[in-house]
Amino acid sequence: MLLRGLSWLVVFQLVGTALNVLFFPVLPGPIIGLVLLFIYLLLQGRVNEPLNEAATSVLRYLPLLLVPPAVGVIVHMSDIKADLWAIIGALVISLLVSLLFIGWLMQLLVNRQARAKDKS
């Protein structure tokens, strides 16, 4: 069962990589494969047992995937310190833009739901 689930994960990654090479050179292949897997799961309506078992077994090792970025941050700390104010500014601006957009979207959805409730 585990091998079947891992095979499904690898197949979606390979299809994503093939689409990356053929059509979408800007997007990484594994990301395309992840989106295809998501669409497949939405269409199927459930997660089958082999895929669930494979995902659970791989999820145990997720913290190991965070080690290389952490090492990269430590190695390039001098570069980060040099551009600290630019990084902080970009983070604050993106936070404010996200908050404004989410607030606007939430208000739009609340108003839509209220109109739908009034009609029925």
Give yes or no for residue 24 having a pLDDT over 90: no
Mean pLDDT of 33-44: 93
Q: Residue holding tokens 């609340």? A: 110
pTM exceeds 0.75 for this model: no
Number of separate helices (H) and strands (E) present in the chain: 7, 0
pLDDT of residue 66 exceeding 90, the answer is no
What are the structural domain ranges in the chain? 1-60, 67-120
Sign of CA pseudo-dihedral 40, 41, 46, 51: positive
pLDDT digits (tens, 9 = 90+) for 78-89: 999 999 999 999
Which letter, b or e, does each residue of 32-42 get, where b requires 16 or more Cβ atoms within 10 Å of its Cβ? bbeebbeeeee
Cβ-based burial of 12 (10 A; exposed 0-12, middle 13-18, buried ≥19):
buried
Q: Mean pLDDT across the chain, nearest whole number?
A: 91
